[in-house]
Copies of this chain bind each other. A is one copy, B any other.
Amino acid sequence: MNIGILGGTGPEGKGLALRFAAAGIQVVLGSRVAVRAEEKAAEYNSILGKQVIRGTANSEMLHLCEMVFLAVPFRQAIEAIEAIRGDLSSGTVLVDVTVPAVFSPGRVEYLAQEGDSGAETLARHIPAGIELVGAFKTIPAHVLAELKVKLDCDVFVCGDSRQAKELVMQAVRTIPTLRPLDAGPLRNARTLERMTILEIQLNLRYKSKGARFRVVGI
């Protein structure tokens, strides 16, 4: 399986690319400008010490990959989906890792979507035949990007297609010490996105940086 990363030049995309590539998965970074993705691929390959990540234009990345992570900030996600609309093939699994947040100095709050989650909002912009799965929402980007940090936490995977969720969970299982948990339907992103905000608030309060959740007892 090839994993594509749309927004692979940002911090969340970096972590996903490094962790999946280190686990032996073929990773393709996509960018609107191919050369930017190529440059980032070269940078990440030098961190890994091997040539395993490719960078290319979004359209080519989308043709190469069965699973594509939307690793852009939430406020850019709808625009990003609209931009790639024509290049999405039926059966592609899109993975939403975004969280709608409002930051102000020393504070972060959840940007509520009229009772909806960010994931549900994005789902309304996805063409038919494409499955949207929410995952990695509660994993801090910089923790993901620091390969020396043991993740020792859970990835909550939510979505309305059991098959698409299972594919994402299989991909998560390739990353050592990271456990995928089936967190139910896409609307459960309402819980997961709020959990991410709580993590950031805990980081601010406890002067930590990498708060993340682990479920004990299952």
**Could you list which residues of chain A lie within 8 angstroms of chain B, going by C-beta atoms?**
110, 112, 115, 140, 143, 152-153, 156, 181-184, 188, 190-192, 194-195, 197-199, 201-203, 205-206, 208-218
Assuming the A-B contacts A191-B194, A191-B197, are A212 and B202 also in contact, with contact meaning beta carbons closer than 8 angstroms in the complex?
no
Contact of A143 among B140, B191, B217 (CB under 8 A): B217
User: In the complex, how many angstroms separate the beta carbon of A142 from the nearest chain B beta carbon?
Assistant: 11
* B201 and A208 form a contact (CB under 8 A): no
Chain B residue nearest in CB terms to A213: B213
Contact of A191 among B181, B198, B218 (CB under 8 A): B198
Contacts of A192 in B (CB 8 A): 198
Please list 13 pairs of residues, one from A and one from B, whose beta carbons are closer than 8 Å in the complex, sorted by A's number.
Answer: A152-B216, A153-B216, A156-B198, A181-B206, A183-B198, A183-B202, A184-B201, A188-B201, A199-B215, A202-B215, A209-B217, A210-B217, A214-B214
Contacts of A216 in B (CB 8 A): 152-153, 210-214
The docked-state distance in angstroms from the alpha carbon of A188 to that of B193 is 13
* B211 and A214 form a contact (CB under 8 A): no
* B190 and A194 form a contact (CB under 8 A): yes
User: In the complex, how many angstroms separate the beta carbon of A197 from the nearest chain B beta carbon?
Assistant: 7
User: In the complex, how many angstroms separate the beta carbon of A115 from the nearest chain B beta carbon?
Assistant: 7
Contacts of A184 in B (CB 8 A): 198, 201, 205
User: In the complex, how many angstroms separate the beta carbon of A128 from the nearest chain B beta carbon?
Assistant: 27
User: In the complex, how many angstroms separate the beta carbon of A118 from the nearest chain B beta carbon?
Assistant: 15
Contacts of A197 in B (CB 8 A): 191
Contacts of A211 in B (CB 8 A): 215-218
Chain B residue nearest in CB terms to A208: B218
* A188 and B181 form a contact (CB under 8 A): no
